[in-house]
Structure 1
Amino acid sequence: MSTAVTDPRIDQLFAAAKAAQAKAYAPYSRFRVGAALHSDTGGIHAGCNVENAAYPVGTCAEAGAIAAMILAGDRAITEILVLGEGPELCTPCGACRQRLREFGAASLKVHVAGPEGLRAHFTLGELLPHSFGPDNLA
């Protein structure tokens, strides 16, 4: 696993995710997450987790980034970076993997980072093999 961010596209995602993470609302878990994605038009869209006292009403950072992408008029994700705290990998939860599948292919790049930098890279297909998506309903 690499700890240095060196790719300019990933640098942009890391910076956007870090800025989003700083604005996370996590008074219960105290686990702030930021996510930033590249859309197929080249746009960068970010989101943060937003907790709620009535679990599970909160929103994941990935969901916020996807909502920002949709609001901007984009409809496809090419890569995403998720930035979490703590020593473990902060990969997208199961629900967010399915959300990513709605707007991304199995080849979608998923970068996982911590405060020090990148920790791991996956494809959505590795995180959600044999997925059900929009093409199943065509």
Structure 2
Amino acid sequence: MTDEELVQEAIKYREHSYSPYSHFAVGAAVLTKSGKVYGGCNIENASYPVGICAERTAIVKAVSEGERDIVALAVVGDTPGSCSPCGMCRQFIGEFKIPKIIMANMHGARKTVTLEELLPFAFTDSDM
């Protein structure tokens, strides 16, 4: 699967966003080593901390299906530039050592970074 195909999957999942409070819809898709794609969207809650971001939704879906070797993640939002994962999602991405993160927007902007570029001082299992 190409990076652009993964971005298009994230765009599809963005359509399912439940974001009645922020009105900021985000979609994400992860590609596993086995070739499967799992997607997610952000899901808000009136009790804000209870909500979940699109990136974590996609990762949780993959892991809950037994897929732990994730090779890429794409995230898409309607932002002026490429949509970047929040700090909590960066740490979650780091937990699963996802090596390629594709940040995109709805207007064609794309930026691909490594995990080390996204979260240079990650707290990892080696810190435990």
Deviation at 1:17, TM superposition (A): 0.5
Aligned residue-pair number: 128
Q: CA RMSD in A?
A: 1.4
Q: Secondary structure at the match of 1:81?
A: strand
Match of 2:11 among 10, 13, 18: 18
Shift of 1:124: 1.2
Q: What's 1:95 paired with? A: 88
CA distance in 2, matches of 1:99, 1:90: 16
1:126 aligns with 2:117: yes
State the TM-score, normalizing by the size of structure 1. Answer: 0.85
Deviation per CA, 1:105-133, whole angstroms, max 9, x where unpaired?
5xx11111111334211111011112121
Counterpart of 1:110 in structure 2 is: 101
- For structure 1, list consecutive stretches of 5 or more residues without a partner in the other structure: 1-7
Instruction: Output one character per residue of 1:33-56: Cα deviation in whole Å (capped at 9) or x when no partner.
Output: 000011122211111000111112
Match of 1:59, as an amino acid? I
Q: Secondary structure at the match of 1:117?
A: coil
TM-score in terms of structure 2 length = 0.92
Kindly indicate whether the alpha-carbon contact (under 8 Å) linking 2:29 and 2:74 is maintained by their aligned counterparts in 1. yes
Report % sequence identity: 41
How far has the Cα of 1:88 moved from its partner?
3.4
Q: Aligned runs of 1:42-121 on 2, under 5 Å? A: 42-104=35-97, 108-121=99-112
Distance 1:52 1:89 in 2: 25
